[in-house]
Amino acid sequence: AADLLEERGWRRLGLDHFARPDDGLAAAAAEGRMRRNFQGYTTDEAPVLIGFGASSIGRMPQGYVQNATAVPQWREKLERGELPVARGVEMTADDRFRAEIIERLMCDFAVDLAEVCATHHRPLADLDESVARLAPMQADGIALVLGPRVEATQTGRDFIRSICAVFDAHLEQGATRHSASI
């Protein structure tokens, strides 16, 4: 299906989106401005995404919130004049740092780690352990480490989530992570 879309003039963007070449999302991808949130790829640069319905998820610079999942509880909170939030997760500075790395990989299939480190006032050495976990993926032809730059190979684009996983401090790291997605 992907080949057919590309044959018909659609551009493949990121992991799982397609757009016509004249679409704003295609332009953002070409210019390195495409973003990704939990809803997919977007050109939206807003730092806040508000979820309104039951079970909806919102994101703010400080973290994530999820509304009550059951409609009766969600409605009761609203009727009392309360926000229907059931839980929240605060993002640390390290979470925001790693989220930017993962977003660039998901959007561009590449990231300049030195650039992200400079933006977040972090030494490149903070990522040594993560970069070392890319070694099996380099051996398999999925990832490239070119100095401070990490790239997915053409084949590796289908495994971008595995490449991203080495930078996610909240995922269990281990030998099974790479093979589980293959």
pLDDT in tens, 107-143: 999 999 999 999 999 999 999 999 999 999 999 999 9
pTM of the full predicted structure? 0.86
DSSP code of residue 126 = G
CA dihedral of residues 46, 57, 38, 21 (deg, nearest 10): -50
- Closest C-alpha among 14, 58, 54, 61 to residue 38: 58
Domain boundaries in the chain?
Answer: 2-42, 57-90, 93-181
Q: Do the beta carbons of residue 102 and residue 164 sit within 8 Å?
A: yes
pLDDT in tens, 43-54: 998 999 999 999
Low-confidence ranges of the chain (pLDDT < 70): 173-182
> Distance of CA 99 to CAs 91, 92, 178, Å?
10, 10, 19
Domain spanning 93-181: which CATH class is it, in words? mainly alpha
